[in-house]
Structure formats: C-alpha cells, structure tokens
Structure 1
C-alpha cells in the first residue's frame, strides 16, 4: 500500500511536469513558469524515490543505508522553495520578486545543508530500514533533522494555500483560473495534513508517547494533496475558452493598456522589460493582470477625465473617447476637477468583453487623432 500511494503521487508529478514543460518550451524566459516546472520536478523526484522498488536499489548503490532519505526530504524542501519563488512572482513586480526569491533560495539551501550535516553524522546508517520515521524519529539529531524538514515544507504549503485563495477572489472574469486557484489552495491544505500528522508524531515521540499510526495516516495526505495541487495549477488550461481566445482578448487590450501604462508606469506589476512574467495559468493569469492594471490606470486618470464621463452612458466608444481626452488633459496639465466614480457607468456584467470593446474603440480614436495631427 505504501508503494501504491506514493507511486500515484509520483505519477501525478511527472504528468504535471510533462504538461507544463510544453508551455515552458514556448516561453523559456518566463521565470515564474520555470519555478512552477521545477516545483513539479522536485515533488515528482521525491515521490519516485519513496517507492520501494526505486528506493532500495538507489540506497544500495549509494553504499550508505538510508542516505536516500536525504534526497527525498531535500527535494521536498526545494519544492517548497520553488513554490515560494512562484508566489513572489504572483504578488510583486519582477525586480522585487527576484530579491525575495534569492532570500528563499538562500534559506532553503541553508536548511538543506543543515539537514545534510545532521543525517551524515546521525547514527542511522547501520542498516537499511523502510520504517525510517518509526525507527529514528526518537533520536536527538534526527528529531532536529525532521523538524527542519517539516517546517520548511509547511511554510511553502501554507503560503501557497493563502496566496491562491486570495487571488481566486479577484478573478471573477476568468472562471477556470479562479477554479484552479481554489483547487490549488485545497491541494496545499490537504498536503499540509501530512505535516500535521508527522509533526504530531514527532511531538508525541519527544515525550515518550508512541502513536505509530500517525506515520501511516500521513501518507495519503501527501499523495492525494499533491495530485489535487497539481490539478489546480494546470486547471486554467482545461477550460472551454481556449488559449487562442484568451490570447486574442489579451492582445485586444494592448492599445488601452499601453496608453495607460505610458502615462502611469507604476500600474504594471511586471514591466515589459521583465518579459511580462506570469505565474499560474499562463495566458489566463496574464489576461487577469492586464485587466487589473487597466482599472488601476483608469483610477489614476480620473482627475483628468472630462465632465461628460460622469454623466455619460458608459458605452465602450464613449468611454474610450473620455479616456483619450483624459490622457490629453494630463499631458497638458489640465484637471477638470470632476468627481467621478471608481468605474464608469454602464459597465456590463461581462467586464472582459466590455474592456475589449473599449480598447478597440480607443485604438480607433487614437488612429483618428494621428490622422488629424
């Protein structure tokens, strides 16, 4: 049963890796997507090495009993580092995300180095045992080793659950991205059940209470959690709205976004110079960020919009003309001092369709301005 449970987790990891590496081939410069693929690899390697028919030959080839456990646990720590790296690109502009990623990797590598030192000097290499936790968790050096492992893994899982759920609340216009983020959060929490069970076992063992079933109960949490987690991260590409449709909408928003970005560069989470890095959902997430940034630009432009924008119907063509006039007013330093709502009147329920129409009308207005210039 142990090999079946972890074998399913390994299979899910390699499927997710194969699926996303195809996207990575098309966008190798995407730092966040590289972090996602790396997370899949580390998780898949960890689960693969845990399967008995794989674990035993590798452990025998190393010539040091139980040393393979270090590779398994280190892979899971590095998996959590990749997740945190990924989260940084969800939340922050690329330069700041890179700074945070460097910190995460530094801490992760220090943890792996400390774990390596502990397991090398710990008295766990006399004979091979498949029941590693039950046999060695009560030893002082191994207790510290396993605590560091669980803390690092828990940090990554809880962070991704929080960040995924938070972003899901902001993606109403992209239902498959929203579903994927919620499933990702669920998978991370299920996986955290592994840490809870194993952590509880360590706590009880430290006070001389043995509850060995906790070690076994943790296994399905790990495998099922990872399968749900991987499904969530790949789900945005499953929806009936194809990547071509999403990419078409993304490109249609370019004229409006570019004009607002030129006027207010601070609206961009990722600047064009950073390759428009994205994290989850590829085009879905890119499209979501562009919509958010357009609204941020509109809010920044409000003091310069004409009075007609407050009393108009909010039709796309009318809104496009108001934005074009507002940009001219800003360039000329003219502020009509009109109090406007956060969003123009008449915005339809399908916000994405409305924004695409506004952007296309805006492109027409700008083209007419150039013709008369």
Structure 2
C-alpha cells in the first residue's frame, strides 16, 4: 500500500481510539464501549506495524517478519473485540458474555498457535523482501500465515453476522450506516483472507496467477481499514455533525411532501384548517416531526368538515376509493349539492400511527390529478 496513505490511516486510527477513550472517560462504560476501545487499539497497532520504517525498526531488533506477525495477531484481536462489542449490542449481557468468552478462547488459541508456528517453522519472508519492488510479488508463505488467514476469514464472517443483526435494530442514521461500513469492511477482510490463501497455495503449487500477486491484496487491506474506521467514527461523530437530524428531516420531509396533494385539496376548501400556513412544501427543518403531525391533524379535520358532502351511498373502501370519494365530495360541495346528515362514509382511520401515515399517503397519491 502507498506509504503516505498508510500513515494517514494510522493517524486516523489513533485519533479514533482517542475519541473512543474520551467517551469511555466521560462515563460511557458499557461493555460494548470497552470492547470497541480494545478493538480500535488493536487495529491501530496492526496498521502502525505495517508502515515500512516501523516494520523495519521492529524487525531489526527481533527477527524478520516479527512486525508482520504481531500485526496479524493484533488484527485477530481487533476482529474478536469488534465481534464481542456487537454481541453486547444485540444480546442480553449474560448471553453476550458467554458467547464472547467462546470467541475469545478460540482467538487466543489461534494467536498462540500463530506465534508458536512463527518461531518454530520456516517461511519465505527473505524472498518476499527481495521481490518487494517487482510488479509480481512473492506472498509470505508459512504455517503461521495459513492459520492467520483461516482465523481471519472465520472472524470476518462472525463480524458480518453480528454487525448486520445490530444494524437491523439501530435507531440512528449514523449508527446504521456506520454498521453497514463495518459489514463491508468485514466483507473486504474475508475477501482478503480468501485471496491471500489462494495466493499462497498457488505459489506453493508453482502456478502463476499474476493478479493474486499484484496490488489487489494491498488494496483490499486498505479498503478494509478505511471502512472499519468509518464504521467506528461515523456513529461517534454523526450526531455532533448533524447527520442524524438531517437524515431524520429528509425522511420525514418525504412523507410531509407526499401528504401535500391531499392536504392542499382540503385546505383549499377549508382555509381555516391551518393556523399557520407553511411557506413552502418542505417541513420545518428544526421541528420536522411537529410539522408532519400538524399536517396529519389538519387532514383529518378537513376530512371531518367535508364529511357532510360525501356521497351518502358510499361505503368504506381502499385508498383509491377514499381518494375518489374525497374528490367527488369536493365537486359536490363546489356544485352546491346540499349536505347530508354527516353520517355517511366513516373515515376508515387506522388505529396504528404508522398504518395511519401509510394510509393517508396512499390516499394522497391516489387523488385524481
């Protein structure tokens, strides 16, 4: 990977850790926050050890590829830490702790095995260094590397499952999309593990597959780190940057505008419905929920005032029938047809608020243009 870019990612990683530690200091000490802090610390260490001069400095005082091996172990620690965090977000505390312990034991065993194999079995790291500048590079092949990629693939699948499960119940825009970034990062990590395994295997079988030995693995590594850091930072800063409010306004404003045709038909007939006529078609940015609620109330008030002019023979129907009924009542009123006793055509109002909103939007869309 491009070294200046890697240094930038390292700086962002340590900044993300500082931000998470600040939250921890401010009292957000739930198990999920603690695990996220540990995961960020491990991934910051892992990417720091990938910087060329850091790797060279560590290897110069130890043995070749010590930095890479520690980076691999830290990556596994980061992955299991993230998975434990998500488990605490989607499961009860005791169940999350039990599930987390099994994953921790499994990952600890993988780390111990990697370190043992690194110190007792050979690798081709010297050949890797000799071909660093070539377009077709030599993959690091060792027993420890095989254990690492297999463990990473398993943990990546676990992260995808738990992060996606939490995303389905997340209630904030920045949290949902931060978790989506985590899922995509885990997917890239899984692809990295699979392709690195394939690269090592084809090398040992003396099969030339150039694209497995080019820049693809480095790019996947970079995508993984960037997506994971976005997943860490976005939920933390989204609310402070106003992203959650903007997303909420955007969603509510879409419903507000969908209701406009129905609201306008009724408001044109009964201008007194709205005490404060909106200046435009968009909901108030500061209080979009209030604007939507007021529009719904005004629609039902208008429907109530229009009720005496509804066709007495009409029966409740679907949204299209309701739209036709309202349009016909407006014509009857404008044509001077005498009002009925007001007992025809009940308003068919759903009890559930979400169903009520869906119903009114469907009626609004079905109105004759």
Question: Where on the TM-score scale, by shorter chain, does this alignment land: which range?
Answer: 0.5 to 0.7
Match of 2:50 in 1: 50
> Cα RMSD (Å) of the superposition?
3.1
Q: Which has the higher contact order (CA 8 A, sep 6+)?
A: 1
* Alignment TM-score, normalising by the size of structure 2: 0.59
Match of 1:109 in 2: 108
Match of 1:205 in 2: 203
Q: Secondary structure at the match of 1:134?
A: coil
Q: Secondary structure at the match of 1:50?
A: coil
Q: Deviations over 1:7-31 (max 9, x none)?
A: 3432332122122111111236322
Contact 2:114/2:147 (CA < 8 Å) preserved in 1? yes
Contact 1:165/1:185 (CA < 8 Å) preserved in 2? yes
Per the TM alignment, residue 82 of structure 1 is displaced from its structure 2 partner at its CA by 0.9
Whole-Å separation in 1 of the counterparts to 2:204 and 2:226: 32
Larger gyration radius, structure 1 or structure 2 = 2
CA gap 1:350/1:50 in 2 versus in 1, 3 angstroms: farther
Per the TM alignment, residue 2 of structure 1 is displaced from its structure 2 partner at its CA by 4.2
CA gap 1:92/1:232 in 2 versus in 1, 3 angstroms: same
Q: Deviations over 1:144-202 (max 9, x none)?
A: 3212101221222222223323332333x422222222222122223333223212212
Match of 1:194 in 2: 192
Q: Deviations over 1:33-58 (max 9, x none)?
A: 11111111111111111111111111
Whole-Å separation in 2 of the counterparts to 1:350 and 1:198: 53
Q: How does 1:1-373 map to 2 (within 5 A)?
A: 1-27=1-27, 29-62=29-62, 64-124=63-123, 130=129, 134=138, 136-137=140-141, 142=142, 144-171=143-170, 173-211=171-209, 213-215=211-213, 216-240=215-239, 345-348=351-354
Name structure 1 gaps, 5 residues minimum: 247-343, 352-373
Whole-Å separation in 1 of the counterparts to 2:127 and 2:75: 21
Whole-Å separation in 1 of the counterparts to 2:197 and 2:73: 17
CA gap 1:239/1:69 in 2 versus in 1, 3 angstroms: closer
Q: Which runs of 4+ in 1 moved over 6 A?
A: none
Name structure 2 gaps, 5 residues minimum: 246-349, 358-369
Whole-Å separation in 2 of the counterparts to 1:87 and 1:170: 12
Whole-Å separation in 2 of the counterparts to 1:5 and 1:350: 51
Match of 2:266 in 1: none
How many corresponding residue pairs? 246
